[in-house]
Amino acid sequence: MNVSPLGIAAATLPSPIPAQRCPVSSGQLLTACRLAWEQGGQLVALWASDDRDRDRGFCLRVLLRDSDGLTLLEHTLPDEGARYPDLSLIFPVANRMQRAAFDLVGVQCDAEDQRPWTWQAAWPIDCFPLRRDFEPSPKWEAGEEDYAFVKVAGDGVHEIPVGPVHAGIIEPGHFRFQVVGEKVLRLEQRLGYVHKGIEKRFETLNIEDGYRLAGRVSGDSTVAYAWAYAQALESISSLDVPARASWLRALCLERERIANHLGDLGYLGNDGGFAFGLAQFSRLKEQVLRLNRDVFGHRLLMDMVIPGGVAHDIEAAAVAAMRRQCFELRHEVRILRDIYDEHAGLQDRFRSCGQVSPELATKLALTGLAGRASGIAHDLRCDFFCPPYDTLGVRKAAQSDGDVAARVAVRFDEVLESLRLIETLAEAMPESEIIVPLPEVPTYAVGLGYVEGWRGPVLIALESGPGASIRRCHPHDPSWLNWPVLEHAVIGNIVPDFPLINKSFNLSYSGHDL
């Protein structure tokens, strides 16, 4: 994004993809966001930091994305009384991020909606955990808040509260449905139940060790998070990782994508009343996880990606086993895809269910695989060339119907493409070392990591402190952008279709609640 017409100075920001960093005034923040929106840009993340110890007040950071790369707008709020403009008027998806930024750092926004988002009465509402002078007290006990859900009134309208403990093996969150008969008039989500203080925990870790915590922000995307963390740290330290290490990272990332997509395809079949699908796809997923364990020593590939490279090398026999598995999986997945496509009952459940039009998807910044099912053809592996994806020619999945069927189709396409990528990676694995030592990390440096995980782009924004400490680390899951869309996707559908629609997005609670 070219910010010079706005009179904004830009500096290069350490990042694996082109990125710039711009200090902005309150007015420039608004005009820059408006310009980005008009030019087809989107909001990626919004978070705040306490910089009062460096006499800089609070810093509000707004990260935008367009076809040129990333733009980080940094707005200084001199004290806790200062307010910044409501960006949700331009990017509706900013609403929850602004509320969370207040709950954690205490920076105030000029928005109408001042309800808490992350806060749920576990600490006093006037204490802010991410402030540097925050002192938790053992006297604080878990409490219950009275959250102001939006009410819907009228003849025959009633409410169905669901959660936080759900009926399946799912993460906790609360859903408030307003329905007439079977039909959903409105859904409101209340998240934050698995808030476990991840960002504060980062600040107690050595910067070289943070990858382990990053890999546990959302366990299903552990490779994507660990890689994004490594990218951020390597960007700050100006370190290039050996070719073989980035090849192995991509191998792990694609295996993570395949495992999650296969699991989802099984559960989507099951939620459509086709238990055969779950049995088949969960069998295939287990085969992937078992080979992960045999080759990398961990079924979910946790702690494989580490700053500077990867933890383990793999042998020729393991490469051969992976190629063999790709061959077998492709065959099986094609058979199952035909069965899914030809199954009238299943297609009846999938088609036009939980529809998100491309217009709505654009307005609400839908991202990742759900975005690609609604005509938002973004994929970091194709849009920006980071090794080793610059040599692979990734084929982007693209659907535009925006219903459950489209999200199923994107998963099928991506599984098959990832199988091809693994085969290509395995064929041309370069010979080199797999890890290099990290150079000294500069103090007070900000860097980004940005990786296309299976669910969507995973962001890590990292700021170093003195003595290789972490001053601030903000992990940002694509679920932040996609949760609000789910509220819209379910409108007009029947309540029993909600599990199917929810599963077709399969969003992270842990990655969002932090």
Q: Which residues bind other proteins (CB under 8 A)?
A: 120, 122-123, 129, 134, 136, 140-142, 144, 164-165, 167-172, 192-198, 200-201, 212-213, 216-220, 222, 263, 276, 278-280, 282-283, 285-286, 289-290, 293, 299-300, 302, 335-336, 338-339, 342, 508-510, 513
The label of the residue with tokens 């194709």 reads 382
In the complex, least distance from residue 240 CB atom to other proteins, rounded to whole angstroms: 29
Q: Which is nearer to other proteins, 59 or 333 (CB)?
A: 333
Q: What is the SS3 string spanning 39-91?
A: CCCEEEEEEEEECHHHCCCEEEEEEEEECCEEEEEEEEECCCCCEECCHHHCC
Q: Which is nearer to other proteins, 193 or 385 (CB)?
A: 193
Cβ neighbours of 382 (radius 10 Å): 15
Q: Which is nearer to other proteins, 84 or 123 (CB)?
A: 123
Q: Which string of DSSP letters, residue by residue, matches 224-251?
A: HHHHHHHHHHHHHTT-PPPHHHHHHHHH
In the complex, least distance from residue 281 CB atom to other proteins, rounded to whole angstroms: 9
CA-nearest of 237, 171, 160 to 509 is: 171
Mapped onto helix, strand or coil, the DSSP state of residue 109 is strand
In the complex, least distance from residue 405 CB atom to other proteins, rounded to whole angstroms: 19
In the complex, least distance from residue 442 CB atom to other proteins, rounded to whole angstroms: 26
Q: Which is nearer to other proteins, 276 or 385 (CB)?
A: 276
In the complex, least distance from residue 311 CB atom to other proteins, rounded to whole angstroms: 14
Encoding tokens for residue 361? 């998807």
CB 21 within 8 A of CB 11: yes
Q: Which is nearer to other proteins, 195 or 255 (CB)?
A: 195
CB 176 within 8 A of CB 158: no
CB-count burial class (<10 Å; 0-12, 13-18, 19+) for 278 = middle
In the complex, least distance from residue 43 CB atom to other proteins, rounded to whole angstroms: 25
What CA–CA distance (Å, rounded) separates 474 from 466? 18
In the complex, least distance from residue 186 CB atom to other proteins, rounded to whole angstroms: 24
CB 266 within 8 A of CB 278: yes
Q: Which is nearer to other proteins, 165 or 491 (CB)?
A: 165
The label of the residue with tokens 């929106």 reads 37
Angle at the Cα of 184 from the Cα atoms of 183 and 187, rounded to 5 degrees: 170
Angle at the Cα of 438 from the Cα atoms of 436 and 439, rounded to 5 degrees: 120
Q: Which is nearer to other proteins, 194 or 441 (CB)?
A: 194
Q: Which is nearer to other proteins, 153 or 344 (CB)?
A: 344
CB 63 within 8 A of CB 70: yes
Q: Which is nearer to other proteins, 299 or 420 (CB)?
A: 299
In the complex, least distance from residue 87 CB atom to other proteins, rounded to whole angstroms: 26
In the complex, least distance from residue 276 CB atom to other proteins, rounded to whole angstroms: 6
* Identity of the amino acid at 126: D
